[in-house]
Structure 1
Amino acid sequence: MASTYSLSELTLVKATPEQAIVTNKNSFIEWGTHLSLEQYLSRESILASFPFTSENFTVWVLVPRSTPETTTNILSSCETFARPALIITSSLQKQNCYSIASVFTPPEHRKNGYASYMMELLGKKLKENFHEVGFSFLYSDVGPVFYSRNGWKVFEHREIQFNIENENFNNITSDTINVTQLSYSDIEEITKYDCSLIEKEIDFNSNKYKVVALPTFECFEWTFARSKFYAKVKDLKEPNIWGAKATNKGNKVIGFVIWNYDFNDNVLQILRIRSPDTNTTKLLIQQAKLCASYCNSKKITVWNPDLKLFTETNIIEGGELIERTKSLPSLAWYNNKSSSKDEVEWILNENYAWC
């Protein structure tokens, strides 16, 4: 029977390498679906080698204060990823933010308040550095209440779903727009272009603080590695198309879409979409549908899209707008001048930010 500790006996520390390995072994029962333990540990090792994680990644463990380096009494754990962000008020501030993932309590330690206490301590640690770290966010699979109690308030969580199984793929063309597919080597240039535009397009005329976790190449690279790993495990052909771009007659990029492959649920996930109008959106979504069909994906998802770009013909011909019940985007704001969710606008609350 597992020992029970009072919360006053516990502390939150950065995991040692040995503790980090134990947290992965522990969480296998939760997130190792479709994998053996060896495969799961291999996946985590591979993902940890990318710049998105290797330079900006921390594993946190809740442990007894008396034995902070224990590998046998890890009561709860989580991970944080430092990533570049923008905070917009009357001016533009470049800061870091943190995304939080893999919040896990081993079954034998549950029902003791450990995970809640861990999140309380983590929130305090992150807020202490609010001059360098403006906010943190996570994606809740346990509903809106648990994380909200410790400061992570749920934001918009709608998505558009396109069912591919009955798609007839009517050919959509344009005389003024050319759409081409994006290979892996194209993504870095597209993401740099996107980030530069985000800064230029910021509207400072608002009473709200605005925050955005930047869609940098590193976070896409990390996400693509997950897809490639599962393709290898399932003995599937590794994807070589990761999106599409739209250009005008002068060959200037006017829009793009970047996607990822969920080979467990057969879903093509649109991670980021930029489009100037509904016509361009149609053309980009058509490319996603064609690629999804080729890869035997049954569905396409788009998180929190700008609905002005999807208003034509029943959400761009066949899409359905729903509210998600999993991966609820939740954000904690660390600026002492404002603590209200209603005073903060989360810009580009899209799937690329998930981890």
Structure 2
Amino acid sequence: MIAAEPPNLPSGDSPDLILVPATASERIASIRLNSVAWKGPLDVETYIQRENHLLQQRLTRDGLTCWVLVDRREAEDSRTILSSCESYRKSALLARDGRVEKVSTHGVGSVYCRPEFRGKGYAKRMLEELSVKLETWGMEKEERRRSVFTVLFSDIGKKFYAQFGWRPFVSSHMSLKATGTGSGGMGVTRDLFAEDVQKCLCSEVVLDKLRDQMLVASRESGSAKIAILPNFDHFVWHWAREEFYAENLMPEREPPVVKGAGDDRARVYCAWNRNFGETPEDNVLYILRWVYDEPTSPAEEEVVVTAMAAILRRAQQEAHEWNMSKVEFWNPTPLLQKAVALVDPRVELVHREKDSISCLRWTGEEQGLGKDVEWWLNEKYTWC
């Protein structure tokens, strides 16, 4: 329910407050409320259409839950929404002691409390309850019957979510300006379409290689390793988002079909999506994921780095063609940083302190998996 501030709002620690899945109408009401923060260049009704469109994607169709903090004394569909958020059920890999298993987890997003309700402890109460609920939510068919970790991406710094167990992890990025020039020397780089991304970045061969790498690493180190499975559904969800924006903001153009770039000779590939923001500067082409084989010699390294640089130049061109201001990629490896230096040696690695802070809540220690955990593939595709 969207209403003016009720005369007698409950306190954040009231025993009458409960966190529950929203009804269909309450979900729409929560979207209307948070549209102030996240609708970007869309009007409210179109923003609601976007959210409904994303809900139908394979990644979220059966795994998204809209949560609302409400007063248990109020009737469904008439309850005042005190705070709200969403959880996304995802597949993941867990490796420890030479064993890799597929597990389920949740990503948390759209955490929102309307301005006039802030300072009353509602968001705090919601996250306290959510952290507990997500440990078993949707885990009935899982072998462990509970999750070992959940993730979220904080836009309010590193401290707030840490008090509920979501510890901040490395959150760095590099960005290159969009440009329509500088295409020389791109060599054998080719555009990737959706089916190419599925083959080159999401095939069973690629995922099996990831499992093998995590297995070996788990034997060499005592800490657990986790990775949100980079399956094709993640990319389709991101593309559904960009295609919706393109259709509504640029109806005169054909939908964006180039979804990444690659070099078959070097076996280096990346997938991207276009993020349309409120201003031209907010338009960003994000590289969602990189796939390549770790080189075993200086000569192989040169091939990989050169291919990465060529792919980055192609990404700059694609960004320019879609009025993006820049190309951005998260937590670049040392190899990728070398490639960036070939494209523009002035670019520096940025460590984020406020926006899109990768946070992980680890409950594996309680399940005998140790205190420490390493987050593999902390790339943009995991964002929700």
Q: Please, what TM-score do these two structures have when normalized by structure 1?
A: 0.91
Task: Describe the SS at the equivalent of 2:327.
Answer: strand
Task: Describe the SS at the equivalent of 1:111.
Answer: coil
Partner of 1:288: 315
Deviations 1:122-169 (A, max 9, x none): 10112346644221101100111110010001000100111225x741
Deviation of 1:313 (Å) = 6.9
Partner of 1:209: 224
Partner of 1:116: 124
Partner of 1:219: 234
Task: Describe the SS at the equivalent of 2:41.
Answer: coil
Task: Describe the SS at the equivalent of 2:70.
Answer: strand
Alpha-carbon spacing, 1:127–1:313, altered in 2? closer, same or farther (3 Å): closer
Unaligned ranges ≥5, structure 1: none
8 A Cα contact 2:108 2:150, kept in partner: yes
Task: Describe the SS at the equivalent of 1:21.
Answer: helix
Deviation of 1:316 (Å) = 4.6
Partner of 1:299: 326
Q: Quick one: distance in 2 between partners of 1:212 and 1:123?
A: 19
Deviation of 1:235 (Å) = 1.9
Partner of 2:250: 235
Partner of 1:155: 169
Task: Describe the SS at the equivalent of 2:103.
Answer: strand
Q: Quick one: distance in 1 between partners of 2:199 and 2:45?
A: 35
Deviations 1:246-296 (A, max 9, x none): 212xxxx71201000012222111000123431221122122122222223
Deviation of 1:173 (Å) = 4.5
Q: Quick one: distance in 2 between partners of 1:304 and 1:346?
A: 11
**315-324 vs 293-302, greater mean Cα deviation:** 315-324
Tell me which of 374, 379, 382 is aligned to 1:345.
374
Task: Describe the SS at the equivalent of 1:54.
Answer: coil
Tell me which of 344, 358, 361 is aligned to 1:332.
361
Unaligned ranges ≥5, structure 2: 294-303
Partner of 2:190: 180
Q: Quick one: distance in 1 between partners of 2:355 and 2:16?
A: 33
8 A Cα contact 1:95 1:132, kept in partner: no
8 A Cα contact 2:23 2:77, kept in partner: no
Q: Quick one: distance in 1 between partners of 2:330 and 2:102?
A: 25
Partner of 2:337: 310
Task: Describe the SS at the equivalent of 2:34.
Answer: helix
Q: Quick one: distance in 2 between partners of 1:41 and 1:191?
A: 31
Q: Which amino acid aligns with 2:224?
A: Y
Q: Superposition RMSD on alpha carbons, in Å?
A: 2.0
Q: Quick one: distance in 1 between partners of 2:38 and 2:290?
A: 28
Partner of 2:110: 102
Alpha-carbon spacing, 1:65–1:313, altered in 2? closer, same or farther (3 Å): closer
Q: Which amino acid aligns with 2:376?
A: I
The answer to which structure has the higher strand fraction is 1
Q: Quick one: distance in 1 between partners of 2:80 and 2:183?
A: 58
Deviation of 1:312 (Å) = 5.2
Q: Please, what TM-score do these two structures have when normalized by structure 2?
A: 0.84
Q: Which amino acid aligns with 1:154?
A: P
Q: Quick one: distance in 1 between partners of 2:319 and 2:375?
A: 29
Deviation of 1:70 (Å) = 4.4
- Structure 1: 4+ residue segments shifted above 4 A: 128-131
Q: Which amino acid aligns with 1:162?
A: L
Deviation of 1:225 (Å) = 1.0
Q: Percent identity?
A: 30
Q: Quick one: distance in 2 between partners of 1:224 and 1:271?
A: 11
Q: Quick one: distance in 2 between partners of 1:4 and 1:83?
A: 35
Alpha-carbon spacing, 1:282–1:16, altered in 2? closer, same or farther (3 Å): same
8 A Cα contact 2:186 2:311, kept in partner: no
Q: Quick one: distance in 2 between partners of 1:85 and 1:152?
A: 17
Partner of 1:261: 274
Alpha-carbon spacing, 1:118–1:223, altered in 2? closer, same or farther (3 Å): same
Q: Quick one: distance in 1 between partners of 2:240 and 2:18?
A: 33
Number of residue equivalences: 345
Deviation of 1:68 (Å) = 6.1
8 A Cα contact 2:173 2:330, kept in partner: yes
Deviation of 1:172 (Å) = 2.3
Partner of 1:46: 53
Task: Describe the SS at the equivalent of 2:37.
Answer: helix
Partner of 2:78: 71
Task: Describe the SS at the equivalent of 1:256.
Answer: strand
